[in-house]
Amino acid sequence: MSVSTSSRKDVALPERTVREYARGGLTTPPREPAKKKSPQQTGHLHAMERFVAIAPPLVLAVIVLISWYTSTVFGHVSSLILPKPGDVLASLVDGFSSGLLLSNALVTIEESVLGFLLALAIALPLGYGLAKSRLFASAVQPYLSAGQAVPAIVIAPLLVIWIGYGLLPITILCMLVVLFPMVITIAFGVQTIDQTLTDAARVEGAHGWSLLLSIEFPLALPAIIAAIRTGLTLSITGAVVGEFVISGGQGLGSLVVQAGNQFNTALLFATVIVLAILAALYYSASWLLVKLAEAIY
C-alpha cells in the first residue's frame, strides 16, 4: 500500500512511522508533537516581548524630540512659545542642583499623598454603602454627583476663607478631586460580586466583619485596586489645582504660576516634566500594588 504525503509536505516524519500508520489504514499521519522550548529559547522570547513593549514609546519619544529640536532650531519658533530642548534640560539641571524643583516636588508629593489617603478612607465605606443600601444611595448619590459637577477651583476660595492657607486646605481640595471616581469604581466592584458566593458563605456561618473581610473584600479587590490606581495618579492634579490658589508660593503648581508670570517657558516646561515623572512614578507604585495583591490573594 502506498502512502501519499503530498498534503503534509511541511511535516518531516520518519519512514517507519509512515509505514506503521499506513498499515493501520491511515493515509495522513498526524503531526509530530511540538517540541518543548529550551530555556534559552524561552529567554529570547521574553526578551523579544519586553522589546516590543518598550520600543514603541521610545520611538515615539525620539520622534517628538527630533520634531521639537528641528522646530525650535530650524523653524524659527520663538523661545517664548516653545523653548529649545537644551534650554529645558539646563533648567532641569539648575532646578535640581539649586533644590528649587526638588523642594517644591516634595511639597506636592506630601499634599497629593495625604489627599489620596483621605479620599481612600472616605471612598471605601462610602462606596460600600452605596452598593449595599438603596436608601443610602438614593440619599447620598445626588449630592455626590452635584459635588463632582462643581469645579475644584471654585471651591478653593471657600476653603481659604474657612481654613486659610497651607497644607490642610490643599489636602481637602485634592481629596475632593479624586473622591468621586474612586467611590464610583468601588461601588461598582461591590455591586458586581456574585451573590451566590456570599449566600454560600452565609450558609457556612460567615456574617458581618468575617463576611466582609473573607469574602466580599477579596472579590471586590480588583475594583478597589483600580480605584486606587486612578485616585493616586489623579491626586497630582488635585494638588496642583490647590497650589494654583491656596499654596502661598510652595509646590510645583505655584512654580508653574511663577514661571508663567515671568515668561520663563524653559522653567515652565521643566516643571511640567517633573509633574509627568511624578505621575509615572505614582502609576508604577500602583502597579506594584497590583502585583502584591496577586501574590497575597
- Over residues 131-155, the pLDDT tens digits come to 888 888 888 888 888 877 888 778 8
Mean pLDDT of 229-255: 86
Lowest mean pLDDT among 13-27, 145-159, 180-194, 252-266: 13-27
The residue with greater pLDDT, 226 or 65, is 226
Taking the C-alpha atoms of residue 236 and residue 106, their distance in angstroms, rounded to an integer, is 12
Helices marked H in the chain: 15-23, 39-73, 85-98, 100-132, 134-149, 152-162, 167-191, 195-203, 209-211, 217-245, 252-261, 265-296
Residue 8: the pLDDT is: 41
Residue 235: the pLDDT is: 92
Residue 275: the pLDDT is: 93
Looking from the CA of 280 toward its CB, the CA atoms found within 13 Å total 6
Tell me the angle at which helices 85-98 and 39-73 cross, rounded to the nearest 10 degrees.
Answer: 110
Q: Which residue has the cell 514661571?
A: 259
Residue 175: the pLDDT is: 92
Question: pLDDT over 90 for what percent of the chain?
Answer: 23
Class of domain 85-296: mainly alpha
Q: How many CB atoms lie within 10 A of CB 196?
A: 8
The residue with greater pLDDT, 37 or 7, is 37
Q: Which residue has the cell 452565609?
A: 202
Q: Which residue has the cell 509615572?
A: 280
| Cell numbers for 119 | 479620599
Instruction: For residue 199, give the 3-state DSSP assignment.
Output: helix
Give me the sign of the Cα torsion angle 279, 280, 286, 289: negative
Mean pLDDT of 219-240: 89
Categorise residue 99: left if φ over 0, alpha if ψ from -120 to 50, beta otherwise.
left
Sequence-ordered list of residues with C-beta below 8 angstroms from that of 287, at least 6 positions apart, any chain = 229
Lowest mean pLDDT among 6-15, 27-36, 113-122, 196-205: 6-15
208 has pLDDT over 50: yes
Q: What is the DSSP letter of 296?
A: H
Mean pLDDT of 277-290: 85
Residue 158: the pLDDT is: 86
* pLDDT tens digit sequence for 100-143: 999 999 999 999 999 999 999 999 999 999 988 888 888 888 88
| Cell numbers for 259 | 514661571
Mean pLDDT of 61-70: 82
Distance of CA 250 to the CA centre of its chain: 26
User: Mean pLDDT of all residues in the chain?
Assistant: 79
Taking the C-alpha atoms of residue 69 and residue 47, their distance in angstroms, rounded to an integer, is 32
Q: Could you tell me the CA-to-CA distances from 206 to 129, 198, 202 in Å, in that order?
A: 19, 9, 5
11 has pLDDT over 50: no
290 confidence band (pLDDT: 50, 70, 90): confident
Sequence-ordered list of residues with C-beta below 8 angstroms from that of 126, at least 6 positions apart, any chain = 140, 144, 183, 186
The residue with greater pLDDT, 82 or 179, is 179
Mean pLDDT of 189-217: 76
The residue with greater pLDDT, 78 or 137, is 137
Residue 214: the pLDDT is: 74
Mean pLDDT of 230-247: 87
